[in-house]
Amino acid sequence: MIDVVVAGGGPTGMMLASELRLQGVRVLVLEREPEPLPHVRALGLHVRTIEILDQRGLLDRFLEHGTRHVAGGFFAGIEMPWPTDLDTAHGYVLGIPQPVVDRLLTERAAELGAEIRRGCAVTGLAQDDGVTVETADGDRVRARYLVGCDGGRSTVRSLLGVGFPGEPARVETLLGEMEVTASPDEVASVVAEVRRVQKRFGLGPLGGGVYRVVVPADGVAEDRSAAPTLEDFRRQLLRVAGTDFGVHSPRWLSRFGDATRLADRYRVGRVLLAGDAAHIHPPTGGQGLNLGIQDAFNLGWKLAATVDGWAPDALLDSYESERRPVAADVLDTTRAQMTLLSTEPGPLAVRRLVSELAAFADVRRLLMEKITAIGIRYDVDGDGSELLGRRLRDLSLTGGRLYDLMHEGRGMLLDSTGALSVTCWSDRVDHVVDAAPDLDVPAALLRPDCHVVWVGADQVGLDEATARWFGAAT
């Protein structure tokens, strides 16, 4: 029997597979596509995802293929300076195409020993004391748990009968890569003029005369699964920009809408949902891929602990109680951004007002914390310290960097007193006796995802918190 079957081999599925394999869990990834898709739907990684990669020793791989950007404009395209006081050691956005992210995370999962089957779609499931997963080729796989990371049209979610309420697409945007005959100067000039009003428009050079083209569609297509044609792009470019730029020789063409939906539940028995299978929203702000990776990072250690048998009773359920409110907030953020992108007089007036408010540093920081996910605070029991429930930024210790000590995905007691102990949990929690000048507490207990669940200097309180998050003492 496989410990966990992951349905879907995108960034969410591969991140989850890696986190599970890090803890020795047997993982099988089933991906319906026979080959990786070349489509560049996402273009960058935000701060929290960059921190996650750093915590697992993966960041250098991604930095080799990406470009660091320190610029505003990520919230509804409103130009604003990058906040100088973000609570992170990685104050930038990493520009990197999604196919590269997919490849690097797939390589990571394979290195750690995950089994990956491509061209293998999930078609059925049944639960008892495990999960039986049926595939399109007639195979049946037995697993202790199944996680649906299979996208917005999730088969796993449909088979579970989990509701997916929200709003259908009301506006649609065409997206593709193609060559143009217009000169770079002409393209840049027209794009700058059009984007003064229409922020859902752009042509970005990819090299070799190829451009990434984004243009509003005429309406919402009846058949959303059918790709648009090059003629559709030409017609919409002429309507919006007054020129079609001589587009030709498309590499790929697609469309996306502003549908916004959130799954009623993230868990039904031994089956869970993550990434776009649990939530969909417009790509404004570039949060979708990041949100999925962050789901997987939250779920991975909890599901591994459950498989290993040491998880407290409520640990796996905390995945939904923590991550579903985060997704709901992201959906609201993207709803707000889509309103601010409208060319109607009312939304334009609101956009002007928000632009004025963005002159205040606190407003800029709040908006960027929402986009980059570093403002998240989970509801954990404790004494009211501001640190509780928040992820800890990378800290400089006398013996090195905090994130360098978290590559194995274990819990940690960061202790400047040297008088505390987690010996009874030493198989799950590392005890690091070191001083962190920027940490204004005597000691902090960190989960494997670096969120703080206890601070103080009291051994009794520490024991209670460690048992709550890491199970019974051994």
35's tokens: 């080959």
Position 228 scores a pLDDT of 93
Whether the pTM exceeds 0.75: the reply is: yes
Position 42 scores a pLDDT of 77
Q: Give the chain's mean pLDDT.
A: 94
Compute the average pLDDT of residues 309-316: 96
Residue 38, pLDDT > 80, answer: no
Give the right CATH number for 396-470 from 3.10.400.10, 3.40.50.150, 3.30.300.30, 3.40.30.120. 3.40.30.120
Compute the average pLDDT of residues 132-142: 96
C-alpha distances (whole Å) from 317 to each of 209, 321, 445 are 50, 7, 20
Local structure of 261: helix, strand or coil: strand
Compute the average pLDDT of residues 267-287: 95
What span, in angstroms and rounded, lies between the C-alpha atoms of 216 and 212?
14
Spans of all domains in the chain: 2-166+261-372, 172-257, 396-470
The count of residues in the chain is 474
Sign, CA dihedral 156-374-75-333, equals positive
Is it true that 2-166+261-372 and 396-470 share their CATH fold?
no
Domain 172-257 is of which CATH architecture? Answer: 2-Layer Sandwich (3.30)
What span, in angstroms and rounded, lies between the C-alpha atoms of 264 and 274?
12
Sign, CA dihedral 208-214-220-225, equals positive
Cα 399 to chain centroid distance, Å, stands at 31
C-alpha distances (whole Å) from 80 to each of 70, 73, 356 are 11, 6, 10
Compute the average pLDDT of residues 94-106: 95
Give the right CATH number for 2-166+261-372 from 3.20.20.70, 3.50.50.60, 3.40.50.2000, 3.40.1360.10. 3.50.50.60
Residue 23, pLDDT > 80, answer: yes
Q: Is 245 left (phi over 0), alpha (psi -120 to 50) or beta?
A: left
pLDDT band for position 293 (cuts 50, 70, 90): very high
Residue 172, pLDDT > 80, answer: yes
